[in-house]
Amino acid sequence: MTDPRRDRLLGLALLLVALVVVVDQAGLILENVYPFRLDAPQWRFTSVGNISLRYTPLVFADALLIVSAGFLAIRWWARLLGVVNLGFALVFLATTVFFALDAIQMRRLVRLELVQGLTVGAGRVLVMTAILSLATFWLSLRLFRMFGRPEKETKRGSARPLVVGAQTGPGHGDTG
C-alpha cells in the first residue's frame, strides 16, 4: 500500500535535492566557461571538456527529477521533464558533432607531443556526450509515452462497426 502523503513528501525532497545539484553544477560550469568566446575553437574545446566533467552529477540530478515526478504524480511536470530531456538530447547530439570538428582543428594547433593525450581526452568526451544524447532521448521518449496525453474514450457510436461476413449486392459481389 502506498501512502499518497508520504509519496508527495518524498517526491518533494528528491525534487529539492535534484534542484540543488543542478544549481550547484550550473554554477561550477559557469565558473569554468565564463566569459563566453564562442568564436574561439580553444574556448569551445576546453569548455566542452570542462562541462563533460559535470555530466555524471547532472545525469544523477535528472534521474532524481524523474523519480520525483513519479512520486509527485504531476503529469505536466513529467511532460516538462520529457521536453527538457529531448532538448538536451538534441544539444548533446549537436555538441558531439561540433566537438569532433573542434578536436580535429585542435590537433593541428597543439604541439606534437600533446596530440595523443588530446585525442584520447577528446575521445572520452565524445563517447560520453554521444551516450548522454542517446540516454536523454530514450528517457524523453519513455516520459512522453508514460505521461503523455491520456487516451480519450471512444465516443459512443463514432467507431465504425465491425463487419462480420461478406456483404452481397451490387458492387460487393462477383460481377462476372
Q: Which of residues 2-61 bind other proteins (CB under 8 A)?
A: 2, 7, 55-56, 59-60
8 A C-beta contact, residue 52 and residue 128: yes
Residue keyed to cell 508527495? 8
Q: Which amino acid is at 87?
A: G
Contact region with other proteins (CB under 8 A), list: 23-31, 40-48, 138-146, 154-162: 138-146
Are 130 and 100 a contacting pair, CB within 8 Å? no
Cβ atoms of residues 121 and 83 within 8 Å: no
Nearer to other proteins by Cβ, of 110 and 173: the residue is 110
141 binds other proteins (CB under 8 A): no
Letters for 77-96 (x = contact with other proteins by CB under 8 A, - = none) are -x------------------
C-alpha separations of 66 from 37, 47, 124, 147, 151 in Å: 34, 27, 26, 11, 22
Residues with Cβ within 8 Å of 118's Cβ and at least 6 positions away in sequence, in order, are 103, 106, 107, 110
H/E run at residue 73: none
Q: Binders of other proteins among 92-131, rule CB under 8 A?
A: 116-117, 120-121, 124, 127-128, 131
Contact yes or no for 99/125 (Cβ under 8 A):
yes
Nearer to other proteins (CB atom), residue 1 or residue 166:
1
Compute the distance between CA of residue 128 and CA of residue 109 in angstroms, rounded to an integer.
Answer: 24
Q: Grid coordinates in use for 51?
A: 562541462
Nearer to other proteins, 43 or 55 (CB): 55
- For 141, the grid coordinates are 521518449
Q: Can you tell me which of 10, 50, 70, 86 binds other proteins, judged by CB under 8 A?
A: 70
- Count, residues near other proteins per rule CB under 8 A: 32
If one asks whether residue 132 binds other proteins (CB under 8 A), the answer comes out as yes
> Among residues 99 and 147, whose Cβ is nearest to other proteins?
147
Contact residues: other proteins, CB under 8 A: 2, 7, 55-56, 59-60, 62-63, 66-67, 69-71, 73, 75, 78, 116-117, 120-121, 124, 127-128, 131-132, 135, 138-139, 142-143, 146-147
